[in-house]
């Protein structure tokens, strides 16, 4: 394994970092607020999108509420996906079955690898999701949020189209 070809060809470096404070509001809410107007669904923080990293990666903090949520087993043809558990208990599917994971656990899934994640613990849980290269996953997340918010029902054909447009193949 060697370093890739240089992408920066300047002589002195530059000030080009992007900072996001820990207390920044989530970029996306998935799921509805309860009757007391408190959001108990999923909060998604766009830490580094494919657009903001010049396609290098997409990194998201995924904070799930106590209600069951998350995709069933699927795979991607064009991107890898990695999971790093920050808090709580998250069920990860590693292609062989479901495993209950906790803070500090990590799963890497290459292109074509079957995987899924669920919070079925009844308690909040949080993790980092890393996609490489940086695909436009925000559009997929935002479409799922819109479907959840409006209660729109998709036909099997519409789900298949949504998944195909976003490199998601359910198994």
The CATH code of the domain that includes 127 is 2.60.120.10
26 DSSP assignment: P
* The predicted structure's pLDDT at residue 164: 97
Residue 124 inside a domain? The answer is yes
25-48 burial, b at 16+ Cβ within 10 Å, e below that, comes to eebbbbbeeeeeeeeebbbbbbbb
Q: What is the pLDDT of residues 25-45, one digit of tens each?
A: 999 999 865 555 566 799 999
- Rounded to whole angstroms, how far apart are CA atoms 59 and 137? 10
Domain that holds residue 100: 37-170
- Rounded to whole angstroms, how far apart are CA atoms 65 and 29? 11
Residue 100 inside a domain? The answer is yes
- Rounded to whole angstroms, how far apart are CA atoms 1 and 24? 37
Tokens of 56: 């290098």
Percent of the chain clearing pLDDT 90 (strictly above):
90
Residue 70 inside a domain? The answer is yes
* The predicted structure's pLDDT at residue 37: 55
Residue 32 inside a domain? The answer is no
Residue 163 inside a domain? The answer is yes
Percent of the chain clearing pLDDT 70 (strictly above):
95
Residue 139 inside a domain? The answer is yes
* The predicted structure's pLDDT at residue 34: 57
Say how many CA atoms lie within 13 Å of 118 toward its Cβ. 16
- Rounded to whole angstroms, how far apart are CA atoms 102 and 106? 9
Q: What is the pTM of this model?
A: 0.92
* The predicted structure's pLDDT at residue 40: 75
- Under the banding of pLDDT at 50, 70 and 90, the label for residue 73 is very high
Q: What is the pLDDT of residues 101-143, one digit of tens each?
A: 999 999 999 999 999 999 999 999 999 999 999 999 999 999 9
Residue 19 inside a domain? The answer is no
Q: Report CA Rg, the chain.
A: 17
Distance of CA 88 to the CA centre of its chain: 16
* The predicted structure's pLDDT at residue 38: 61
* The predicted structure's pLDDT at residue 31: 86
Average per-residue pLDDT in the chain? 94
Report how many domains make up the chain: 1
Rounded average pLDDT over 67-71: 91
Give the bridge partners for 74, in sequence order: 115, 170
């Amino acid at each position: 394994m060697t370093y890739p070809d240089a992408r920066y060809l300047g002589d002195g470096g530059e000030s080009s970092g992007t900072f996001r404070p820990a207390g920044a509001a989530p970029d996306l809410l998935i799921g509805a607020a309860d009757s007391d107007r408190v959001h108990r669904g999923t909060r998604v923080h766009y830490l580094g999108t494919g657009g903001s990293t010049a396609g290098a990666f997409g990194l998201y903090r995924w904070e799930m509420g106590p209600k069951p949520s998350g995709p069933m087993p699927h795979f991607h043809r064009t991107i890898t996906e990695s999971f790093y558990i920050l808090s709580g208990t998250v069920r990860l599917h590693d292609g062989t079955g479901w495993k209950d994971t906790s803070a500090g656990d990590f799963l890497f899934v290459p292109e074509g690898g079957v995987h899924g994640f669920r919070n079925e613990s009844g308690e909040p849980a949080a993790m980092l999701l890393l996609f490489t290269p940086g695909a436009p996953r925000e559009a997929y997340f935002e479409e799922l949020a819109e479907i959840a918010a409006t209660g729109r029902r998709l036909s099997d054909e519409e789900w298949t189209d949504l998944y195909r447009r976003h490199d998601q193949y359910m198994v």
